[in-house]
């Protein structure tokens, strides 16, 4: 049975409490203005080892710190050094007695009431909760469209900061896609280049080269994205980070999306044009297998990415 977050223990502000007691006021800055940042990371249960492994916990913490710096959530890094963050996450897992693969969402939020659109010198709060891994996108493959909505630019809401409020942009894209019979949408930046999906980074394969949009294309600098690039290079796969035009997507041999929640999800078609043979491609399959071996602690080469619970 999948973990039921409704009956789990969460961390909220400064204590562990039942899920239904971790609430914010309707007058809070987080609710009124989306003034919060977050990260999501996977925890994998290896039944053979009888162990839980948290994937790249320090990297997710660092991204929270970087997001806080960009958004001027000035007190987070001082109040939450990495050792405190790590111990809180470990205790959260122990209190919930987890023996399955799950996800953890950790959030830093402006914990003030009716403070207007101010950020600096306002109190920061921290929360973390667990939820079942599930499938945010069908792992068997997805049919996607290029959205008519433009990706928010770095000089509007910076993509390098994982800001809750920015997902209004992604939600418009996802909603449009679903209403038109697609599973997911691809965002285009203000310069007309491919950016990413609504909740995942994008990779394509052309002529044996693994290609992904570069960080200047208003993408989130995803941790799974970095992981895939590293694994691919170690497997001898040539990689490129560069701008991609919309029409180039239609010519790709393979395309997949990736993220902590999306894992590696093959794209079967874009704008009703088949990608490859509309099945998971050989390079995507190879990278998926290698990635899962890393997550579950079966490849010792990457064990320094894992925090054992």
Say if residue 249's pLDDT is above 90: yes
Find the catalytic residue in 118, 162, 238, 286: 162
Residue 308 host element (H or E)? strand 306-308
- pLDDT, tens digit (0-9, with 9 covering 90-100), for 207-245: 999 999 999 999 999 999 999 999 999 999 999 999 999
Q: Mean pLDDT over residues 278-305, rounded?
A: 96
DSSP state string for 226-244 = HHHHHHHHHTT--EEE---
Say if residue 185's pLDDT is above 90: yes
pLDDT recorded at residue 220:
96
What interhelical angle do 57-71 and 82-95 show, nearest 10? 120
Domains belonging to the chain, first-starting first, are 5-132 (3.30.470.10), 142-295 (3.20.10.10)
Which residues, 6 or more positions from 59, have their beta carbon under 8 angstroms from its beta carbon? 223, 226, 305
Alpha-carbon distance of 3 to 15, in angstroms, equals: 21
Say if residue 171's pLDDT is above 80: yes
Say if residue 5's pLDDT is above 90: no
pLDDT recorded at residue 174:
98
Q: Mean pLDDT over residues 256-260, rounded?
A: 97
Q: Is 162 a catalytic residue?
A: yes
267 falls in which pLDDT band (50, 70, 90)? very high
pLDDT recorded at residue 97:
95
Mean pLDDT, rounded, of the chain: 96
What ranges in the chain are assigned the alpha helix state H?
29-33, 57-71, 76-79, 82-95, 167-179, 223-234, 246-250, 282-295
120 falls in which pLDDT band (50, 70, 90)? very high
What is the reported pTM? 0.95
Tokens (6 digits) for 138? 């069908």
Say if residue 42's pLDDT is above 80: yes
- pLDDT, tens digit (0-9, with 9 covering 90-100), for 79-98: 999 999 999 999 999 999 99
306 falls in which pLDDT band (50, 70, 90)? very high
């Amino acid at each position: 049975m999948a973990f039921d977050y409704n009956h789990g223990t969460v961390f909220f502000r400064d204590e562990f409490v039942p899920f239904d007691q971790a609430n914010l006021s309707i007058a809070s800055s987080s609710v009124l203005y989306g003034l919060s940042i977050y990260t999501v990371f996977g925890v994998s249960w290896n039944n053979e080892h009888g162990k839980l492994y948290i994937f790249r916990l320090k990297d997710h913490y660092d991204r929270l710190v970087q997001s806080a710096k960009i958004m001027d959530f000035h007190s987070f890094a001082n109040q939450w050094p990495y050792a405190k963050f790590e111990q809180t996450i470990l205790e959260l897992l122990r209190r919930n007695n987890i023996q399955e693969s799950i996800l953890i969402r950790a959030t830093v939020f402006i914990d003030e009431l009716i403070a207007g659109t101010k950020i600096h010198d306002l109190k920061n709060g921290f929360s973390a909760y667990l939820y079942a891994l599930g499938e945010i996108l069908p792992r068997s493959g997805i049919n996607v469209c290029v959205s008519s909505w433009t990706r928010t630019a770095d000089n509007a809401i910076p993509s390098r900061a994982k800001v809750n409020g920015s997902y209004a942009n992604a939600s418009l894209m996802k909603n449009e896609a679903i209403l038109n019979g697609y599973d997911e949408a691809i965002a285009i930046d203000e310069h007309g280049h491919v950016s990413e999906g609504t909740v995942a980074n994008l990779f394509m394969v052309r002529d044996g080269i693994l290609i992904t949009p570069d960080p200047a294309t208003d993408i989130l600098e995803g941790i799974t994205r970095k992981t895939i690039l590293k694994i691919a290079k170690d497997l001898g796969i040539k990689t490129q980070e560069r701008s991609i035009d919309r029409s180039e997507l239609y010519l790709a041999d393979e395309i997949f999306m990736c993220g902590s929640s999306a894992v590696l999800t093959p794209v079967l078609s874009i704008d009703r044009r088949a990608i490859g043979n509309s099945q998971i491609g050989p390079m995507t399959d190879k990278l998926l297998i290698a990635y899962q071996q890393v997550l579950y602690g079966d490849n010792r080469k990457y064990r320094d990415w894992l925090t054992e619970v």
